[in-house]
Amino acid sequence: MTIENLSCNKSFGGWHKQYSHQSAVLNCTMRFAIYLPPQASTAHRVPVIYWLSGLTCTDENFMQKAGAQRIAAELGVVIVAPDTSPRGEAVADDDGYDLGKGAGFYVNATEQPWQRHYQMYDYIVDELPALIEAHFPVTDQRAIAGHSMGGHGALTIALRNPQRYTSVSAFSPITNPVDCPWGQKAFAAYLGKNQEAWREYDASELMRKVTEHVPALVDQGEADDFLESQLKPEALVRSAHESGYPLQLRRHEGYDHSYYFIASFIAEHVRFHAGYFNK
C-alpha cells in the first residue's frame, strides 16, 4: 500500500497534499487529495470526512473551490477527496460526459467493458479508507459527504454501511437515479438490465427500507437547473417520511448547482459532521 506524494501546499496552518497510488480494486493508478489540519500528528489522530465529487470532476474541484480548509483547520478534521472514477489509457470510456471517466457513479460495475475497472463502491468503502488509515494520523471515525453524483454516492454508501460512518451530508444529490436520465444511462451500462440491482444504489429506495440510521443533512438550491429532471429531492423526502429516517433537507432560494452554493454552506456541513465525531 505505497503512495507517492504529488504536491504539497500549506493552508490555514495545515497541509493540502495530493497523492497517487496503485489501486488493486480499480486496476489502475488513482489520485486523491487530503487536507491535514494543524492538529493532526502522530501523537494526535483526528477523524476524517470523505468528500465525493460530481460528474466530470476530479479530486481538485472540491479542494480548490469549496473553501473547506479554514473550518477543517478550526475543528481539527481531515478531509479526503478521491477522484470520481478510474483513469488511464486501458480504462473503458464513453464519448458522453455522464458515462465513463469522470462518471463512475460510485457503483461496482457488473457489465463489460466496465467491470474490470469500475469498482468505485469498493474503492470508497474499503480500499481508500484502509490506505488513509495506514499512512496518515487519523482515527477510525469517518463521515461521508458529496455533491450531485457524489451526493448520490455519499448517501447510498452511508445507508448501506451505517456502522462505518457517524454522519452523511450532500449538496444537490441525485436522490432517485433509477428514475432520472443520468442514473438510468449509467446504471444500464454499469449494472445491466436487472433493475433490482439498480435499487441497491438508489438513496430513495434504500432510505425507505433501512432500519439503522446515520444522521443525514442535504442542501438543495432552488435555482438548480437539474432540480426537476435529475435530482428529485422530493423522492428522498417521501422515503424519509415513510421510514421515519432522521433526514434534514434544506432548500435554498436562488442557489444553483455550482461550487458557489457549496462554498456558501460547506462550513455548516463540516460542523454537522464534527458534532457527531464529538459524540
Q: Which residues are catalytic?
A: 148, 224, 257
15, three cell numbers = 497541509
3-state SS string for the chain: CCCEEEEEEEECCEEEEEEEEEECCCCEEEEEEEEECCCCECCECEEEEEEECCCCCCCHHHHHHCCCHHHHHHHCCEEEEECCCCCCCCCCCCCCCCCECCECCCCECCCCCCCCCCEHHHHHHHHHHHHHHHHCCEEEEEEEEEECHHHHHHHHHHHHCCCCCCCEEEECCCCCHHHCHHHHHHHHHHHCCCHHHHHCCCHHHHHHHCCCCCCEEEEEECCCCCHHHHHCHHHHHHHHHHHCCCEEEEEECCCCCCHHHHHHHHHHHHHHHHHHHHC
Identify the bridge partners of residue 36 per DSSP, sorted by sequence position.
15
Tell me how far CA of residue 199 lies from CA of 10, 204, 224, 259, 264, in angstroms: 42, 9, 25, 29, 32
Burial (CB < 10 A; 0-12, 13-18, 19+), residue 5, is: exposed
C-alpha to C-alpha distance for 114 and 247, rounded to whole angstroms:
33
